[in-house]
């Protein structure tokens, strides 16, 4: 997957390079920096960093990984947060950009970042996450690399409090039991929108019960199986006016996987990949369900993952990285490869 949030110890992440949230003197510090020095081999890494001597805030330098699983350590000093009006955002963005460009020059194929400056440097975590995501997205528009954002635990990971509460409320409403729905629909002061949303399924069931389903023969069933997931996906890409590369990058899917899907009519992707393409193509709810069903899956109100995806589609928010941030916060699988 090109960009993924994972919960792990960054020193144990098996990638080509990990990023150290360094200080400008490149000396051992606390937090992530201290953990990296300890795991890499304190004496060797310190000696190498002393030889380099200095790195400006927002810049990046590279050393060997020594005892780490990673071949390289990229050191980037993040800004100390004051009030958001002292060039902090530009400097933090530069940390990611400089590190990724340096990794590219070293032909790194996978890289793991901590959430830079969000510890003792005081950068608000939700803002630090937004800047990290924007910098990675901008880089991946024109480059191929697997990028990981590593957090030690979910309590250290924050999204917008409004977005979190909106999604949480939406989940609670969709996961209500029938008795709860019935009681709320009849409560004084309940909005007309909610009453209509609650009553609509019952009306549909009532209509369906009156209508007798048509009997379809085998020929009719086969005729309706005219498009596989792969074929429908390619058709939707053509209709979107986007290129293949634009779509698979928006879907957070790498080129190799997309090539498999394109070249194999019967290829069956995972559910998270099918959903990612629906998001990348900015499909409405009905078309998204149709595409996902062609991969053999459905979206229901029986689990949080499906409800979160529905929330974003209904709100026409197709930012796959923001969706993954919310999925991660709710302990759900991330979408993409």
pLDDT of residue 34: 93
- Residue 178's pLDDT band, with cuts at 50, 70 and 90, is low
187 and 55 part of one domain:
no
142 and 169 part of one domain:
no
Edge to edge, the sheet with strand 3-7 lists 3-7, 146-151, 110-113, 17-22, 72-77, 61-64
Mean pLDDT of the chain: 87
Q: Mind giving me the DSSP string for 77-130?
A: EPPPPSSS-SSHHHHHHHHHHHHHHHHHHTT-SEEEE--TTSSTT---HHHHHH
Helix runs in 211-284, H state only: 218-224, 229-240, 244-250, 255-263, 271-280
166 and 290 part of one domain:
yes
pLDDT of residue 162: 85
Mind listing the pLDDT tens digit for each residue in 15-73? 999 999 999 999 998 888 999 999 999 999 999 999 999 999 999 999 999 999 999 99
**Average pLDDT of span 134-158:** 86
Gap between the Cα atoms of 273 and 283, Å rounded: 14
**Average pLDDT of span 87-99:** 98
Count of alpha carbons within 13 angstroms of residue 174, beta-carbon side: 19
132 and 266 part of one domain:
no
Task: Count Cβ atoms within 10 A of the Cβ of residue 229 and give its class: 0-12 exposed, 13-18 middle, 19 or more buried.
Answer: buried
Residue 304: its H or E element: helix 304-314
Mind listing the pLDDT tens digit for each residue in 230-257? 999 999 999 999 999 999 999 999 999 9
152 and 172 part of one domain:
no
pLDDT of residue 180: 53
Angle, alpha carbons 79-84-85 (nearest 5°):
105
- Residue 175's pLDDT band, with cuts at 50, 70 and 90, is confident
- Residue 11's pLDDT band, with cuts at 50, 70 and 90, is very high
Q: Which residues of 159-191 are buried (b: 16+ CB within 10 A; e: fewer)?
A: bbeebbeebeebbebbeeeeeebeeeeeeeeee
**Average pLDDT of span 114-119:** 93
Residue 166 CA: distances (Å) to CA of 117, 201, 288, 314, 319:
27, 23, 22, 13, 16
- The residue segments making up the domain with residue 36 are 3-156
Count of alpha carbons within 13 angstroms of residue 181, beta-carbon side: 16
Count of alpha carbons within 13 angstroms of residue 171, beta-carbon side: 16
79 and 175 part of one domain:
no
Mind listing the pLDDT tens digit for each residue in 282-312? 999 999 999 999 999 999 998 999 999 999 9
173 and 302 part of one domain:
yes
Gap between the Cα atoms of 264 and 330, Å rounded: 34
169 and 112 part of one domain:
no
145 and 173 part of one domain:
no
Q: What's 8's DSSP letter? A: S
pLDDT of residue 210: 42
Count of residues making up the chain: 337
Res 208 pLDDT > 50: no
Q: What is the pTM of this model?
A: 0.78
| Straight-line distance from the first to the last Cα atom of the chain, in angstroms, rounded to the nearest whole number | 5
User: Could you give the number of structural domains in the chain?
Assistant: 2
Torsion from C-alpha of 121, 122, 126, 132, nearest 10 degrees: -20
14 and 93 part of one domain:
yes
pLDDT of residue 29: 87
193 and 108 part of one domain:
no
**Average pLDDT of span 132-145:** 92
């Amino acid at each position: 997957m090109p960009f993924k949030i994972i919960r792990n110890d960054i020193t144990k992440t098996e990638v080509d390079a990990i990023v150290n949230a360094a200080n400008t003197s490149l000396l051992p510090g606390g937090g992530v920096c201290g953990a990296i020095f300890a795991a890499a081999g304190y004496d060797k890494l310190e000696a190498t960093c002393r030889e380099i001597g200095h790195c400006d805030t927002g810049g990046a330098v590279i050393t060997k990984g020594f005892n780490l699983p990673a071949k390289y350590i990229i050191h980037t000093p993040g800004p100390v947060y004051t009030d958001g009006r002292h060039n902090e955002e530009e400097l933090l963005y530069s940390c990611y950009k400089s590190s990724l460009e340096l990794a590219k020059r070293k032909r790194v194929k996978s890289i793991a970042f901590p959430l830079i400056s969000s510890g003792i440097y005081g950068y608000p975590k939700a803002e630090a996450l937004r800047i990290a995501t924007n910098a990675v997205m901008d880089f991946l528009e024109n480059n191929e690399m697997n990028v990981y954002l590593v957090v030690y635990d979910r309590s250290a990971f924050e999204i917008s409090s409004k977005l979190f509460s909106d999604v949480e409320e939406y989940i609670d409403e969709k996961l209500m039991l029938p008795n709860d729905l019935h009681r709320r629909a009849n409560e004084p002061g309940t909005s007309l929108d909610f009453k209509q949303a609650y009553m609509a399924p019952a009306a549909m069931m009532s209509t369906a019960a009156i209508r007798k389903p048509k009997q379809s023969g085998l020929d009719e069933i086969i005729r309706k199986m005219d498009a596989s997931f792969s074929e429908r996906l390619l058709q939707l890409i053509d209709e979107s006016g986007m290129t293949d590369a634009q779509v698979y990058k928006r879907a957070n899917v790498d080129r190799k996987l997309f090539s498999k899907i394109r070249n194999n009519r019967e290829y069956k992707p995972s559910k998270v990949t099918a959903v990612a393409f629906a998001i990348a193509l900015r499909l409405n709810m009905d078309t998204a369900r149709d595409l996902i069903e062609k991969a053999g899956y459905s979206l229901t109100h029986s689990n949080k993952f499906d409800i979160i995806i529905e929330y974003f589609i209904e709100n026409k928010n197709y930012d796959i990285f923001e969706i993954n941030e919310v999925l991660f916060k709710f302990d759900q699988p991330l979408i993409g490869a």
